[in-house]
A = this chain, B = another copy of it.
């Protein structure tokens, strides 16, 4: 192989990987799968996609070694290929949010609109984890909580939150978290809880970021 051919092969391959990531629907699917495996139907429920379209995007991700699939009965379950990919995805989102002005601004505005500007980060959370006056609340759907959650967290799915407000004390500080920085469930939870007189903040990151942080420290 000539030098130019080698370079072309490498850059073409690299570009192919980037192309697989260069679509908003696929990025959202990746974020959903970073909570744990999901069937096509599960992906559809968590996004705005049609079944055929979600399946098509999942094929693209599969052909680029970003996701794996396994069949179980009627369902085909998809999952991220490994934690190295999850680390890469988080590196990309972190860069985008901190270095691309438009995204930083959109993010800040979203937090402001939901009284969630005083977000807690993972480092701060660590120092609060043994505090009996702090309640860590996972507001994702129960299926995602079951596939993995921050240790010590209580599952309070967002769509059940309003019904069980009376179960929580207004003396405790509540930290709500969800899928990650782009997920709005924790923002919605903060809004509802603060409007009802609770002390509440959201976690800046989500479960997948906590998981990767745990992995690194071991």
Binding site for B on A (CB under 8 A): 1, 3-4, 6-15, 17-19, 21-25, 27-28, 48, 65, 81-82, 84-85, 87-88, 91-93, 95-96, 98-103, 106-107, 109-110, 113, 182, 184, 187-188
Given contacts A15-B27, A84-B99, list 5 more A-B pairs with CB under 8 A.
A7-B28, A17-B100, A18-B19, A21-B22, A65-B101
Q: Judging by beta carbons under 8 Å apart, are B14 and A103 in contact? A: yes
Cross-interface CB contact of A48 among B4, B23, B27, B109, cutoff 8 Å: B4
> Closest residue to A12 on the B side, CB-wise?
B24
Q: Judging by beta carbons under 8 Å apart, are B106 and A10 in contact? A: yes
Can you list 19 pairs linking A and B with CB atoms under 8 Å apart?
A: A3-B188, A6-B106, A7-B182, A11-B24, A11-B28, A14-B27, A14-B96, A14-B103, A15-B21, A15-B27, A18-B19, A18-B92, A65-B100, A65-B101, A81-B99, A85-B99, A87-B91, A88-B95, A92-B92
